[in-house]
Chain A
Amino acid sequence: MDFELDAEQVELQRVVRDIAERECPPALVRSVIDGSDDGLGLWKTFVELDWPSLTVPADDGGMGMTAVELVIVIEELGRVADPTPFLATTSQYLPLVRACAGPEARGELLGALCAGGTGAAAFAAGTVRARRDGVGWVLDGTAAHVVDGDRAASIAVVAATDDGPGVFVLPAQAVAATRTPAFDGSFHLADVALDGVRVDAGRSFVGSEVAAGVAQARDEAVAGLAATMVGASQRVLELVLVHLSERKQFGVPIGSFQAVKHMAVDMYVAIERARALCHFAGLTLAEDDPRRALAASMAKTAAGDCQRLVARHGIQLFGGLGYTWENDLQIFVRRTKVGEPLLGSTSEHRARAARAVLAGHRATEAV
């Protein structure tokens, strides 16, 4: 396997990092947290750069790149605790529409996205039901913890039908969304109530191929969350490394103590482990590799392990200085944690990865 980023991917990573650092300093994230900014200025910048259309197929007016590039960009935005709806729009809404919408609707919906529209996705087949009503459909139920469900222009809802899951795309006005408290004030989570909401036939996608499309989109969404967590973890490590070299006690930098060094190395290893699996998840999505679901679960598991260790060691290694609101550390500790319980926790994905491999052993045993 050739598992190195190619020259264009490295360049993309560099460009996104430069721009994200410049346009999204911690001061901006703090303004979003305290309510004095809504992050939409930054979103406009992203739209001008065409970043939201990164993985929109070229035929639909986008840049036609793969999930590998998406994972690279999302990691860089996680590294600055991006307060815009980029993650939900590109790694949740977009994959659902791309995989499940009919050709005509897909062109329109992705066109709106390329023009700067935002989107959210509710993977809610367990709690939302859709029934046919004339030519359209009616949705009932509540989708919990939808990323950007309170501020995206469109919401793609995965709901249960009598024929398996369906995908229904609604304008924000059609739903009652309530932002739910999240401990990361720059990250939006919402409960989306659907109380007899009608959806036009042209925005309802039901059929035999939809289930596979939903599964694939969900894998991409899982990989996106993992990449965000890796990016935020990377920033925690960077902050810690500066501190360890600058902070002196007993006349020497605290980074010269072995007990401290070893903790920093463990953070680094955890990040590299998770990053490699995020790239692999992107690669399996890009190549439509059958290991896609396993890869997404492995990425989310490793990112979950990574955030746990990085946050714990990160706060500890800053000592009292890591215990304050002023220290930017807390912004990234929050961002790396917030993805952990969404779309399946670390333990759920770990078990899913184990089951995928053990099922293979059972199959060979049966033969």
Chain B
Amino acid sequence: MRSTFDEKTEAFRREFVAWLEENAPDEATALSERPRSTAHIPAWAREWQRKLFDAGWLVPGNPPEHGGRNASLLEVFVHQEEIGRHHIYASFNPQGLSIIAPSLLVFGTEEQKRRWAVPILRAEITAALGMSEPDAGSDLAGLRTRAVLDGDRFVVNGQKVWTSGAHDADVILAFVRTDPDAPKHKGLSCLIVPTDSPGLTRRPFGSIVGPDDLDFNEVFFDDVEVPAENLIGELNQGWRVATGSLGHERAMLWLGFAERLDDLIGHGGREIVARGLDDDPLTLDWFGNTVVDANAVRLLGYRTLAKAGRGVEATEQSILKLFGSEASQAGTLHMMETLGVDGLDPDRRSAPLDPLHDEGFTASWWERYVRSFAGTIAGGTSQIQRNIIAERVLGLPR
């Protein structure tokens, strides 16, 4: 146990930071065009992502031909940590970068990697993830969108929902039912569906942030024909891809919550000082709690990471999403309330704009608060997480 990583890892960190400071786009460039959804990458950001790819700094754990430099797990981690610390987005199509491309690289054929994964990583195309359906949320294995193999093509019918960025995406990685007679999760397959396919309709809808905050989509499939060669992984083996997709870099998922808590301490703390509330007992109480939470999330995360480095799945991992998301939500709510009516002002920024970052985190405190529900709902609700931890970690009966 020690408070720094080994020297090789720290040297890797220094090398990346030096490159980052040399090469990151300047503020004027980044402000020239803003991303409008999680699958819309402005031209300057496409260039930036390609630069990261070419330099082997986009996904350092990948081989050079896939935007990396065969880095170790700890090196991949410090890279992520510095990306976060610098408030930089490596890609403005985050699900493409961290879920869809990795799934293609694991489960796809060489042709599929060349045709889809590399262009996603190089920001030539963007991708959305088609998992949830109106009746398949937490119960993902219950999804019903049907795909029927007919010669050299699948015919897809059904509906997806919550498909982030679909209206701006070039392709959707869709999970579909290919064997309706098999038990729930055994009849699923995974297809890459180009969004310009005839019969595919996307309808973006507003989030709680506002009617113009368009990222979520309903996606309707009406006899959509998809070439059979777009099947990712084997037929009826889609569940493996799904668990692989969501499980990707699971050992580091907590970092986002740790960063959000650190941002809350930084942005909120400066606001507290500026308002002369740094001696107010009620403020000290919740703020102290957030400080404790932020540190605990990071420490538990570091422990998870150390175990992952040895190939051991840590039990700490299971609580990090639950704990991190709820802590960040509670702290953000307290901060909003500490500011009184100012906390509700939609035009009052909660932090200085970080041009290379998504603006969601520098929005008003109200917006930050409602966005924190993404953490407690998406990727397995807190209630489902508690069930899983109770059964798998604490050994309680089903």
Complex-state Cα separation, A354 to B273, whole angstroms? 11
Complex-state Cα separation, A68 to B299, whole angstroms? 14
Q: Does B75 contact A (CB under 8 A)?
A: no
- Pick from B272, B289, B302: contact of A1, CB under 8 Å: B302
Contact A354 B284, beta carbon cutoff 8 Å: yes
Per-position binary interface string of chain A over residues 1-36, scored 1 when its CB falls under 8 Å from any chain B CB and 0 otherwise: 111111001000000000000000000000000000
Which residues of the partner chain A approach B4 to less than 8 Å between Cβ atoms?
A: 1-2
Residues of chain A in range 244-298 having any CB-CB distance to chain B below 8 Å: 244-245, 252-253, 255-256, 258, 260-262, 264-266, 268-269, 272-274, 276-277, 279-280, 283-284, 287, 289, 298
Contact A9 B288, beta carbon cutoff 8 Å: no
Contact B387 A357, beta carbon cutoff 8 Å: no
Q: Could you tell me the distance in whole angstroms from the C-beta of B84 to the nearest C-beta in chain A?
A: 15
Determine the main DSSP class of A at the interface with B. helix
Q: A350-B284, A351-B288 are in contact. Are A273 and B293 (CB under 8 A)?
A: yes
Per-position binary interface string of chain B over residues 316-329, scored 1 when its CB falls under 8 Å from any chain A CB and 0 otherwise: 10010011000000
Contact A277 B295, beta carbon cutoff 8 Å: yes
A to B contact number (C-beta, < 8 Å): 161
Complex-state Cα separation, A365 to B395, whole angstroms? 50
Q: Could you tell me the distance in whole angstroms from the C-beta of A226 to the nearest C-beta in chain B?
A: 11
Q: Does A307 contact B (CB under 8 A)?
A: no
Across the two chains, which residue of chain A brings its CB closest to B302?
A: A3
Contact B288 A352, beta carbon cutoff 8 Å: yes
Q: Does A347 contact B (CB under 8 A)?
A: yes
Q: A253-B397, A261-B396, A302-B296 are in contact. Are A276 and B303 (CB under 8 A)?
A: yes
Complex-state Cα separation, A351 to B4, whole angstroms? 27
Across the two chains, which residue of chain A brings its CB closest to B272?
A: A358
Contact B288 A350, beta carbon cutoff 8 Å: yes
Which residues of the partner chain A approach B265 to less than 8 Å between Cβ atoms?
A: 357
Which residues of the partner chain A approach B266 to less than 8 Å between Cβ atoms?
A: 361
Q: Does B307 contact A (CB under 8 A)?
A: yes
Q: A1-B2, A301-B289, A354-B287 are in contact. Are A277 and B395 (CB under 8 A)?
A: no
Q: Does A353 contact B (CB under 8 A)?
A: yes
Q: A244-B396, A269-B322 are in contact. Are A301 and B288 (CB under 8 A)?
A: yes
Q: Could you tell me the distance in whole angstroms from the C-beta of B352 to the nearest C-beta in chain A?
A: 14
Interface residues on A, range: 35 or more
Across the two chains, which residue of chain B brings its CB closest to A258?
A: B387
Q: Could you tell me the distance in whole angstroms from the C-beta of A316 to the nearest C-beta in chain B?
A: 16
Q: Contact residues of A with B, CB < 8 Å?
A: 1-6, 9, 68, 241, 244-245, 252-253, 255-256, 258, 260-262, 264-266, 268-269, 272-274, 276-277, 279-280, 283-284, 287, 289, 298, 301-302, 305, 347, 349-358, 360-362, 365
- 21 of the cross-chain contacts (CB-CB < 8 Å) are A1-B299, A2-B306, A3-B1, A3-B302, A4-B307, A241-B394, A255-B390, A258-B386, A266-B386, A269-B323, A273-B296, A273-B300, A276-B300, A284-B3, A298-B296, A350-B285, A351-B288, A353-B291, A354-B291, A355-B278, A361-B270
Across the two chains, which residue of chain A brings its CB closest to B393?
A: A268
- Pick from A252, A266, A273, A298: contact of B291, CB under 8 Å: A298
Contact B1 A256, beta carbon cutoff 8 Å: no
- Pick from B281, B303, B394: contact of A268, CB under 8 Å: B394
Q: Does B244 contact A (CB under 8 A)?
A: no
Contact B2 A279, beta carbon cutoff 8 Å: no
Contact A3 B299, beta carbon cutoff 8 Å: yes
Complex-state Cα separation, A349 to B284, whole angstroms? 10
Contact A357 B269, beta carbon cutoff 8 Å: yes
Q: Could you tell me the distance in whole angstroms from the C-beta of A280 to the nearest C-beta in chain B?
A: 5
Residues of chain B in range 1-21 having any CB-CB distance to chain A below 8 Å: 1-6
Q: Does B292 contact A (CB under 8 A)?
A: yes
Q: Could you tell me the distance in whole angstroms from the C-beta of A159 to the nearest C-beta in chain B?
A: 29
Contact B288 A354, beta carbon cutoff 8 Å: yes
Which residues of the partner chain A approach B323 to less than 8 Å between Cβ atoms?
A: 269, 272-273
Q: Does B214 contact A (CB under 8 A)?
A: no
Q: A256-B397, A277-B296, A350-B285 are in contact. Are A269 and B273 (CB under 8 A)?
A: no
Contact B295 A268, beta carbon cutoff 8 Å: no
Which residues of the partner chain A approach B391 to less than 8 Å between Cβ atoms?
A: 261
**Leading 6 A-B pairs by shortest Cβ distance:** A354-B288, A261-B390, A350-B288, A4-B306, A3-B302, A255-B396
Q: Could you tell me the distance in whole angstroms from the C-beta of B209 to the nearest C-beta in chain A?
A: 28
Q: A1-B5, A244-B396 are in contact. Are A353 and B299 (CB under 8 A)?
A: no
- Pick from A262, A272, A356: contact of B319, CB under 8 Å: A272
- Pick from A262, A276, A301, A360: contact of B299, CB under 8 Å: A276
Q: Could you tell me the distance in whole angstroms from the C-beta of B325 to the nearest C-beta in chain A?
A: 12
Across the two chains, which residue of chain B brings its CB closest to A284?
A: B3
Complex-state Cα separation, A320 to B36, whole angstroms? 57
Q: List 6 additional contacts besides A264-B396, A357-B265; criterion CB under 8 Å.
A: A1-B3, A244-B396, A245-B395, A277-B299, A347-B285, A355-B284
Which of A68, A352, A357: most chain B CB closer than 10 A? A357
Q: Could you tell me the distance in whole angstroms from the C-beta of A290 to the nearest C-beta in chain B?
A: 11
Across the two chains, which residue of chain B brings its CB closest to A362?
A: B273
Per-position binary interface string of chain B over residues 257-280, scored 1 when its CB falls under 8 Å from any chain A CB and 0 otherwise: 000000001100110111000100
